[in-house]
Amino acid sequence: MSEYNFFDLSKRTDVEIEKQISEGFRFGEFDSTDHDLFLISRDAPSPDSKDITESVPYMQGVYDFSTLTNGERYFENRTITYEMMLFNQEYSDRKVLESDVKRQLVPLDIQPLYDTHDKSFHWLGKVDGISFDDDEKMRTLKVTITFNVYPFAIGNNSEGSDIWDEVYFPNWLFQDTEFTVNGTQSITLYNIGSRSVGSNINVNGTIEISGDFGSFELSNGTYDSTQLVLGVGTSVLTLSGNGTIKFVFYREEMI
């Protein structure tokens, strides 16, 4: 006896569809979960490495100078691809969605890409291409959207914010990033990300910061360009002076 698979293609209410759609992305004002789009697949392969090598005759292998400056690897941008489906819609509705997707996404410049898969982070990039596959018989529209993005995912909130809903316990560290200084004291900042990052610094008062990089003094103000770079792991700094200081930095992860 033959077996048959039956699919419910009846029209769903907006409320029923909204309850079923829980994954997708947001880019600019476009939110895929608001357009009845079901996420079928998400592909985010690792980025290509920027390798600098030199082959020498009569030597096995090559010299690799890729990490010569600071021991970190450097990468090209990466590609993220979403395949999404619109089910059981009239031809006119499918065409409206196709126009909306292109109109709302393609003109946008580089900006954050938020993915429900990585709620604590966002990507930074722009749309690289969009394609559609319309199936009149099944009343479906397949939408494939490709983004070209910066190789690392960036934290939505600065380290030390510790917003409970975004805490990912397998890779998280609670830490203080704001300090009151009255004299001289040693502090430790932790960068548990995948690469070195710079830090903005907010100062009230006058405070000198010293470490492996040397030292510099800051007075009242917000600074977004200093020689302070936090390497992966721990950074021990010495603070001297009087006032308050806050370090604002964002983790970058290879995920």
Per-residue pLDDT of the chain (255 residues; tens, 9 = 90+): 444 444 455 555 544 444 468 899 999 999 999 999 999 999 999 999 988 778 888 888 878 777 766 778 899 999 999 999 999 999 999 999 999 999 999 999 999 999 999 888 999 999 999 999 999 999 999 999 999 999 999 999 999 887 767 766 667 788 999 999 999 999 999 999 999 999 999 999 999 999 988 999 999 999 998 889 999 999 999 999 999 999 999 999 999
CB-based contact 81:144 (threshold 8 Å): yes
From the number of C-beta atoms within 10 Å of its C-beta (0-12, 13-18, 19+), residue 89 rates as: middle
pLDDT computed for residue 149 by the predictor: 98
| Distance, C-alpha 130 to centroid of its chain | 21
pTM: predicted TM-score of the whole model, two decimal places: 0.84
Q: How many CB atoms lie within 10 A of CB 220?
A: 10
Give kind and range of the element (H or E) at residue 17: helix 14-20
Dihedral in degrees, nearest 10, Cα atoms 172, 47, 113, 100: -150
At residue 69, the 3 state secondary structure works out as: coil
* DSSP letter (8 states) at residue 161: -
Rg value, the chain, Cα: 25
109 Cβ contact list (under 8 Å, min separation 6): 126
Domains along the chain with CATH numbers: 14-151 (2.40.30.200), 164-253 (2.60.120)
The pLDDT value recorded for residue 249 is 96
